[in-house]
Structure 1
Amino acid sequence: MRGKYRTVFILPLKTEKILTDYGWEFSSPEALSVVVKEKVLNDFGLDFQGEHAGIEKYIGEKLEVLFFYGSTRELETIMFKLYEDDVASVQAVWEGGLMNFSEIFIPV
């Protein structure tokens, strides 16, 4: 998918967020639970596209989802690229069972 998109992140609880010259950087003492990934994959019906350099890419209808892994293969960040400004759909999935495991971050 190409074109304009809105970005939304799902992060571990208590993640430090820093905007740098290169974009957002995140730091957390914890990793995301596998429960978070499973819910995102199931609720959005995503198709696996590939993996490169610790990043798994999935696509769905009008969105891409990237799962970022650290050096020990722990899930660190989930990034949504929304090609229609449908932040509410991500927020609904998060509110529907992920609030205890993660936090949502919507850059402005």
Structure 2
Amino acid sequence: GLATSAEMAEMTYTVDYYIHVDSKDDALKLTTHMPFGGHYIKAEEVASYAGPVVEQAINQVIQVTPMEHINEHIHEIVELVKEHLSAFLSVYGITLNDAKVLVLPKD
């Protein structure tokens, strides 16, 4: 994705997250609440739902942080992404195992 720092410098970010569905009840939540085409739900479909949540969590920190200090706040960014993403995905019966965030200046 793309975000802007406090001084409006463009930053790119990549988020990798690892998820699973724990139980039959969680699978029922997933198939009930997330529309999908076919016989299975693709990772890209989950990502399209989760993208705005990730973007909001990342922007919450990056937009108020000068570019040269973003790496000092990476732990805060990762924890915020995990917190927001976990709460969001739980509605769909999806459990977040872990998330990794990489933020770089846009070239």
Task: Give the TM interval when normalised to the shorter protein.
Answer: 0.3 to 0.5
Higher helix share: 2
Taking structure 1 as the reference length, the TM-score comes to 0.33
* Larger strand share, 1 or 2: 1
- Structure whose CA Rg is larger: 2
Q: Whose RCO is larger (CA < 8 A, sep 6+)? A: 2
What is the TM-score normalised by the length of structure 2?
A: 0.33
